[in-house]
Structure 1
Amino acid sequence: MEQPYTIYEEQMQRKLKRWEIRLLKEPNLIERASKSVQNRINQVIPEKVHNTITATVKGIVQTTLFGITYIPASEPLRDLSLAERDGKAEELLSLYKKIAAAEGAGTGAGGILLGLADFPILIGIKLKFLFELAHVYGYSTKDYRERLFILYVFQLAFSSSKKKPELLKTIKSWPIISQTFPPAADYMKQVNWQQLQQEYRDTIDFRKMLQLIPGIGAVVGAWANFGLLEELGVAGMNCFRLRWLQDKNVE
C-alpha cells in the first residue's frame, strides 16, 4: 500500500524537479568557450601526464569498489524521516567543506608540488563524504552496487553537460539498472578511465590551476575545495533524495 508523501517530501519533489532543469540546461556561451579552451589545453598536455592522472583516478576508483577504505564504521541510519536525514546531511556537508577548505589552503600554500598532490587527496575527501552520505540516507556501502552508485553520483557532479542526461537517467532508474550490472571485477573492465579522469579534471581545471599560482595558492585552494564540495553536496543529496522518495512506497 502506497504511503502518502508528507508536506516536506512534496516540497523536496518540487525542489528536485527544479534541480533537474538546471542540471540539464544547455551550456551558455561562456561555458562552451571554456570547454573549447580546455580541449585545446588537453591536446598539448603530454600523453605521459594524461596516463599518470588516469592511473591515479583508476586506482582511487578501484579502491572505492573493492576496498574498505571509505566504508563508514557506523551502520546506515534507520527509521528517520527525509527531513531528519536532510538535516544530518547538511551537517555532514558543512564538516566536509571545512575539511576540504583546510586541506586546499595547506597544499595551496606549499607551492606547485603540494598543489598537484592535492588532486588525489581531494578525490579521497569527496568519496569519503559520499560514503558517509549514503549511510545518512540509509544505504549500506558494504554492497558493491551502492559503491557503484556513489561513482555515478561523483561523475554526475563533475561531468560535462553532454554526459549529465545519461548519468541522471541511470541514477533515476537505479533500482532496475543496478540489477543488470555484472560482478565488480567485470564492471571495472568496461570503464573508460581516460574519459572519466578528463571529465573530472576539466570541471575543476580553472579553480585548481589558480591554486598553483605563488602568493595566492592558499586562498584559492581553500576557495576551490570549499566550492567543489558544495557542488558535490548538492548533487549527492539530491541523488539520494530521489532514491529515498522512490523507495518509500516500494519497501
Structure 2
Amino acid sequence: MTDNTLYEEQTAQKLLLWEKELLKPPSMLERTSKSISTRINTIIPDKVHQALTTAVKGIVQTSLFTMDYIPKNQPLRGASLADCDIRAEELLSLYKKIAAAEGAGTGAGGIMLGLVDFPVLIGIKIKFLFELAHAYGYSTTNYRERLFILYVFQLAFSSQSKQLRLLDIVKTWEEKAGSLPPKSDQVDWRQLQQEYRDTIDFRKMLQMIPGIGAVVGAWANYGLLDELGQTGMNAYRMRRLQDKDASYNAD
C-alpha cells in the first residue's frame, strides 16, 4: 500500500463514485434518446454515413498522429496530484470558454455554420486533451499517449454499452498499451462517429434552430467540454495514482 496523501485518498474515493455513476443503468430518457438515434441512423443514406466517418477519421488522425497538436509547454513533471488538478481546472475553464464562443458564432449562422462547427469542435476537444495530458505530466510526443487520448475521447462520448470496455482499457492502460495496435488502422471509425454524434445530437440539433442557435450553441459546446473535462481529468487521476502504486511496489 502506498503512502498516499489525504488529497490522494479523497481523490481515490471520488473516482470510485465516478465509476459507479458512469456505469449505472441508463435512465428512461437516455434509453429513449438512444432508440431514436438508432432509428435515425437506419434512414440516413449510407453515403452520408461514409462522409461523416471520413471527416471524423481525418480530423482525429490528423490530431493524434501528427505533431500539430502537441503543446509547446513541457509536461508538468514532479508536481503533486493537487497541483496537477489546479492546472487542469484552469485549462478546462479556458477551453469551455473557447468552445462556447465558437458555438455561439456558428450557432448564429444556422444550419450551414452549424455543420462547420462539427469538425471545429472536435479539434478543440482534442487540443484540450493534449494540454490535459501535459498538465498531469504525460508527454504527447509519445505515440502511446496520443492513443490514450483517443480512448479517453471515446469514453467521454460513447454509449454505456461501450463505456465498460473503454473504462477497462483506461484503468489498466499500462497493461493494455503494449498489446494495442501500433497504428489506428483497427479503430472502428464508423462506430466512433455514430457514438459521438448520438451523444451530442440533441444539443447540436437545437443549435441549428433560427433565433436560438447562438445561445444553444454556446450552451451545448460549454457543456460538452465540461463532460470531456471531467472524464479526462478522472482518467489522468487514475493513472497518476496507479503510477504511484507501481513506483512504490517497485522500490
The TM-score, its normalising length taken from structure 1, stands at 0.96
- Aligned equivalents of 1:180 and 1:124: distance in 2? 27
Instruction: Report the secondary structure of 2:119's partner residue.
Output: helix
Deviations 1:188-238 (A, max 9, x none): 221111100000000000000100011100000000000000000000000
Letter in 2 for 1:173: T
Uncovered stretches (5+) of structure 1, i.e. residues with no partner: none
Q: Name 1:215's counterpart in structure 2.
A: 211
Q: In the TM superposition, what is the alpha-carbon distance from 1:161 to its structure 2 partner?
A: 0.6
- Aligned equivalents of 1:32 and 1:115: distance in 2? 26
Q: In the TM superposition, what is the alpha-carbon distance from 1:64 to its structure 2 partner?
A: 2.7
- Aligned equivalents of 2:88 and 2:65: distance in 1? 25
Q: Name 1:86's counterpart in structure 2.
A: 85
Q: Name 2:32's counterpart in structure 1.
A: 33
Q: Name 1:129's counterpart in structure 2.
A: 128
Q: Name 1:106's counterpart in structure 2.
A: 105
Pick from 173, 176, 191: which aligns with 2:187? 191
Letter in 1 for 2:231: A
Q: Name 2:226's counterpart in structure 1.
A: 230
- Report how many residues are paired: 247
Letter in 2 for 1:100: A
Q: In the TM superposition, what is the alpha-carbon distance from 1:47 to its structure 2 partner?
A: 1.4
Q: Name 1:141's counterpart in structure 2.
A: 140
Deviations 1:78-109 (A, max 9, x none): 11100011011001000000000000000000
Moved over 3 A (4+): none
Q: In the TM superposition, what is the alpha-carbon distance from 1:49 to its structure 2 partner?
A: 1.3
Deviations 1:41-69 (A, max 9, x none): 11111212111110011001211332112
- Aligned equivalents of 2:240 and 2:59: distance in 1? 27
- Aligned equivalents of 2:12 and 2:96: distance in 1? 26
- Aligned equivalents of 1:64 and 1:141: distance in 2? 11
Q: In the TM superposition, what is the alpha-carbon distance from 1:250 to its structure 2 partner?
A: 2.4
Considering only aligned residues, what root-mean-square deviation do their CA atoms show, in Å? 0.9
Identity of aligned residues (%): 67
CA contact 2:63–2:123 (8 Å) conserved in 1: no
- Aligned equivalents of 2:44 and 2:77: distance in 1? 48
Q: Name 2:170's counterpart in structure 1.
A: 171
Q: Name 1:16's counterpart in structure 2.
A: 15
- Aligned equivalents of 2:50 and 2:160: distance in 1? 24
- Aligned equivalents of 2:193 and 2:16: distance in 1? 29
- Which one is further off, 119-128 or 175-184? 175-184
Q: Name 1:245's counterpart in structure 2.
A: 241
Instruction: Report the secondary structure of 1:163's partner residue.
Output: helix
Q: Name 2:57's counterpart in structure 1.
A: 58
Verify: 1:204 aligned to 2:200, yes or no: yes
Uncovered stretches (5+) of structure 2, i.e. residues with no partner: none
Letter in 2 for 1:202: D
- Aligned equivalents of 1:114 and 1:167: distance in 2? 32
Instruction: Report the secondary structure of 1:162's partner residue.
Output: helix
Instruction: Report the secondary structure of 1:199's partner residue.
Output: helix
CA contact 2:99–2:222 (8 Å) conserved in 1: yes
Letter in 2 for 1:220: V
- Aligned equivalents of 1:206 and 1:112: distance in 2? 14
Kindly report which structure 2 residues correspond to 1:35-50, keeping only aligned pairs within 5 A, or say none.
Answer: 35-50=34-49
Letter in 2 for 1:65: L
The TM-score, its normalising length taken from structure 2, stands at 0.96
Q: In the TM superposition, what is the alpha-carbon distance from 1:181 to its structure 2 partner?
A: 2.3
